[in-house]
Amino acid sequence: MRNTETAVSLCVQPIIAKRVLAALSAVLTLAMAMLPSQAQQSAPAATSDSSAGLHGKLLQVPVTTLAPGGTNPRPTIKTPPLDDPAAAQRGMQAFNALNCVGCHMANGGGGMGPALSNNFFIYGGEPENIYLSIAQGRPNGMPVWGSMLPDPVIWDLVAYITSISKAPTPQWGTTVSASSPQIQQVPAEDQQTASPWDNTESFTKGQKPD
Amino acid sequence: MKDDRQWPMAAKNYANTRYSSLDQINAGNVGQLKLAWSFSVGPARGQEAAPLAVNGTVFVVAPYDGPNPNQVFALDAVTGDLKWSYAPKPNIAAKGVACCDVVNRGLAYDNGKIFLNTLDDYSVAIDANTGKELWHTKLGDINQGETVTMAPIVVKGKVLVGNSGGEMGVRGWLTAVDETSGKIAWRAYSTGPDSEVLIGDDFNPHYGWLKGKDLGVKSWPPDKWQIGGAGVWGWISYDPDLNLIYYGTANPGAWNHEARPGDNLWSSSLFARDPDTGMAKWAYAVGPHDLWDYDEINENILLDLPINNQTRKVLVHPGRNGFMYVIDRATGEVLSADPFDTVNTIKSIDLKTGRPVLNDELTPKLGKTVKDVCPASPGAKDWQPAAWSPRTKLLYVPHQHICMNFQTSEVGYIAGTPYVGATVDMFAGPGGHRGEFMAWDPVARKKVWSITENFPVWTGALVTAGDLAFYGTMDRWFKAVDAKTGQVLWQFRAPSGFVGQPTTFIGNDGVQYVAMMSGVGGWPGVVANAEIDPRVRNGALGFTGAMQDLPAQTVGGNSLLVFALPKTQGAATQPNQTNPGASNQGNAPTGQSNHAQ
């Protein structure tokens, strides 16, 4: 929590800082409290590994697919289990509480930040890429979160983003026309879920869904 | 500057009429209007800027993206030759804290200088002849969620600039910067103690409930005024006789109203201030304790109108809440307020108190979805400015027609991140269309004619002494309509959809030009110019729901389009063969002209 305090007091007016801290630590306490025992086992494993092992390896994760001289520099990364629905569920709570939702929007539809609801990622869609995007921030307006959030919270966010990005891909590319796309998600006001692509309906072209 | 060869500020003049007395192009010959030249400003994001023109030079500013964000261009109005360009030093992180596309609404010209506001909160003065930087002043902080998107206006040697960020928990302000030195002359906050809102002994609002000490603090829960939004990102008008400037403030933060019991002054309010000192003369809270993100930053058009057999100095404010306000601009008294689109959130405006009479059935409750709220968060009309013709005595109002489902949620403030607390899902209003261009009579208080459009009409309007009104559509049509009847007389199919502001001026060849930026974007248009998923209705603060089919019509663009009549009129070309928009040539106008009974 020391990190959190430094990061926050640096970037808010002093008078509000106290209340922000309260709000934030509530979020973090919540996030930590929600860690079930299994995740707690795997998360600390990742964390203790982290200072030297995992974090060291994360530094080697490339943010491009161009590798000169035919090398394959991508290290093998052992991330905490990401297909755990509980992790995605916790990630959703954190996504809302940390205001990721304000920039990326409900179900990651995109707004001030790009859509996270599809399988295209500017900075790479592997779990370690998503981890790094969150921890380091990204130049075109993605804030840095690594100094504020403990590792397990970031991995929960990765689990959630991996889950919401599972858009159906009827073909390799994307056709847009009067009859495509054909589906849309059931909107977030009607379903609170970490896997919104499980529930789709006909594309309504700007009209009210029935 | 009463010289209609020029278009020196986005709104054309201090009264914000966007009326030009030029009439070379008129209802009789507009069918022959042709593209004279075009120019790419670079980034293919929302082109909301008004092209200015002074002494035969056109000045325009690009959105905040690409290698040279907010680059400014000076071009010869006749030839399109590029005279100079100026690119401010970029801080691209600013893009992440701009709520609704990385737009810029235009420049201002005064005294040989061009004034630019950058998205990352600088105000810059540039020599209009050479493009050399004269000064730059930092006015805000992106780490507090502050950006600047508005067009500046210069009044009595002061450049007036306000901040955006009502979705980021900013504290709104209007700042006056000395046009010569670049030094801040005064700053008036929209919330907080009177000393910082610049409310003094001279302050005299018309309504009793707006009188009292430090209402900008007391109408909020403790400290919430510090993150209460109320940015200033719209239009400023100026009455030299009364020596008052007029502008509106944005929505309060968070959108979740249960986080901020109270009237939340002075958010969603109008201010009249002395431009020399910044001191407020009166204020009027259009939307006390706003529930829906109804900013009231929309333009205030200064007119002298015959009302009850008396000429009254009024301002006309087409409200985001869907009501057309006529307000005495000396006192702040509301003279009339009439709905101009589908409104079910507000029943009426009580003229005794000035307060809206709300439809309590729709009041949002934490976690509960309120359905079919009209108008949606962008209002029945957003920033896109109307125009007034003294010839037809009509107001030309571009606007949208959208409703929504709205669900509030808990939200905590973290500086530099959004402070919203609402899940929004918008869709077309009754009838299925999403926009309208209408002529409104503010004295008779009624719609005279209207053209319905498939998408929101997100461009400003222009009206001329040629009795033509101009506007653009998001599906790529630039239209000239008969200002008296609304009949579409000419239209041009453009590279990208329109969200800009049409202007007109005279080049050094003595010829009248009409200019307009093509490049879809803005809040409704990001779904077509940025990586936003049309299948997720709640994206773009809920606007995706209403705009998800826009990418099937257009993608982003970046073109300045400049139109003129052919040099030798009618000699080389026959009007009807060259009219790209003639309705019998397959390019049928998409808008329907409806005459109100």
- The pLDDT mean for chain B works out to 95
Query: Å from B179 to nearest chain A CA?
Result: 29
Neighbours of B204 (CB within 10 A): 14
Query: Å from B339 to nearest chain A CA?
Result: 23
In the structure encoding, which two tokens stand for residue B566, read together? Answer: 């052919």
- pLDDT tens per residue across span B443-462: 999 999 999 999 999 999 99
A30 in contact with chain B, both atoms CB, cutoff 8 A: no
The span from the CA of A164 to the CA of A125, in Å, is: 12
The span from the CA of B519 to the CA of B308, in Å, is: 44
Confidence check: pLDDT of B536 > 80:
yes
The position carrying tokens 């006309």 is B316
Confidence check: pLDDT of B591 > 60:
no
The span from the CA of B134 to the CA of B115, in Å, is: 10
In the structure encoding, which two tokens stand for residue A78, read together? Answer: 């052992």
Confidence check: pLDDT of A13 > 60:
no
In B, minimum Cα distance to A119 occurs at: B533
The span from the CA of B117 to the CA of B121, in Å, is: 7
Mean pLDDT of B387-409: 98
In A, minimum Cα distance to B433 occurs at: A207
Q: Do B413 and A108 touch (CB under 8 A)?
A: no
Neighbours of A209 (CB within 10 A): 16
Q: Do B535 and A8 touch (CB under 8 A)?
A: no
- pLDDT for position B568: 67
Specify the amino acid at residue B27. Answer: A
Q: Do A190 and B369 touch (CB under 8 A)?
A: yes
- Three-class SS of residue B232? coil
DSSP A107: G
Residue boundaries of the structural domains of chain A: 2-42+76-168
DSSP for B183-230, written as a single string: -EEEEEESSS-HHHHT--TT---SSGGG-STTHHHHTSSTTGGGG-B-
Task: Mention every residue, 6+ apart, whose C-beta is less than 8 A from residue A149.
Answer: A28, A94, A98, A134, A135, A157
- Three-class SS of residue B303? strand
Q: Active-site positions of B?
A: 167, 251, 293
- pLDDT tens per residue across span B254-274: 999 999 999 999 999 999 999
DSSP 3-state percent helix, strand, coil across chain A (nearest 5): 50, 5, 45
Q: Is the peptide bond before A62 cis (omega within 30 degrees of 0)?
A: no
- pLDDT tens per residue across span B167-221: 999 999 999 999 999 999 999 999 999 999 999 999 999 999 999 999 999 999 9
- pLDDT tens per residue across span B226-258: 999 999 999 999 999 999 999 999 999 999 999
Confidence check: pLDDT of B398 > 70:
yes
B534 in contact with chain A, both atoms CB, cutoff 8 A: yes
Phi/psi for A29 (5° steps) reads: -60, -45
Instruction: Select from A20, A102, A110 the Cβ nearest to the Cβ of B415.
Output: A20
Phi/psi for A33 (5° steps) reads: -60, -30
Confidence check: pLDDT of B279 > 90:
yes
The span from the CA of B511 to the CA of B22, in Å, is: 10
In the structure encoding, which two tokens stand for residue A163, read together? Answer: 């889950």
Give the mutation candidate from A103, A112, A120, A198 for the B interface (greatest B CB count, under 10 A).
A112
Confidence check: pLDDT of A42 > 60:
no
- pLDDT for position A72: 77
Q: Do B532 and A103 touch (CB under 8 A)?
A: no
The span from the CA of B467 to the CA of B373, in Å, is: 37
Q: Do B414 and A99 touch (CB under 8 A)?
A: yes
- pLDDT tens per residue across span B323-382: 999 999 999 999 999 999 999 999 999 999 999 999 999 999 998 999 999 999 999 999
Confidence check: pLDDT of A105 > 60:
yes
B196 in contact with chain A, both atoms CB, cutoff 8 A: no
B93 in contact with chain A, both atoms CB, cutoff 8 A: yes
Confidence check: pLDDT of B68 > 70:
yes
Interface of B with A in 44-83 (CB under 8 A): none
- Three-class SS of residue B178? strand
Size of interface A-B (CB pairs under 8 A): 191
Give the mutation candidate from A6, A189, A190 for the B interface (greatest B CB count, under 10 A).
A189
- pLDDT tens per residue across span A154-171: 999 999 999 999 999 999
Interface pTM, i.e. ipTM: 0.93
Confidence check: pLDDT of B101 > 90:
yes
B462-464 vs B19-20, strand pairing mode: parallel
Interface of B with A in 551-570 (CB under 8 A): 551-552
User: Can you name the residues that pair with B389 across neighbouring β-strands?
Assistant: B394
The span from the CA of B409 to the CA of B2, in Å, is: 51
Query: Å from A156 to nearest chain B CA?
Result: 20
CATH architecture of structural domain A2-42+76-168:
Orthogonal Bundle (1.10)
Of B542, B451, B188, residue with least CA distance to A106: B542
Confidence check: pLDDT of B82 > 80:
yes
Task: Mention every residue, 6+ apart, whose C-beta is less than 8 A from residue B130.
Answer: B84
A109 in contact with chain B, both atoms CB, cutoff 8 A: yes
Q: Is the peptide bond before A31 cis (omega within 30 degrees of 0)?
A: no
- pLDDT for position B113: 98
Rounded (10°) CA dihedral B416, B419, B424, B428? -70
- pLDDT for position B354: 98
- B19-585: CATH topology: Methanol Dehydrogenase; Chain A (2.140.10)
Residue B515 · residue B78 · CB < 8 Å: no
Residue B298 · residue B280 · CB < 8 Å: no
Query: Å from A135 to nearest chain B CA?
Result: 15
B533 in contact with chain A, both atoms CB, cutoff 8 A: yes
Mean pLDDT of B428-447: 98
Mean pLDDT of B549-563: 98
Give the mutation candidate from B102, B103, B400, B536 for the A interface (greatest A CB count, under 10 A).
B536
Q: Do B552 and A177 touch (CB under 8 A)?
A: yes
Question: Which helix H or strand E contains B141, and what residues bound it?
Answer: none
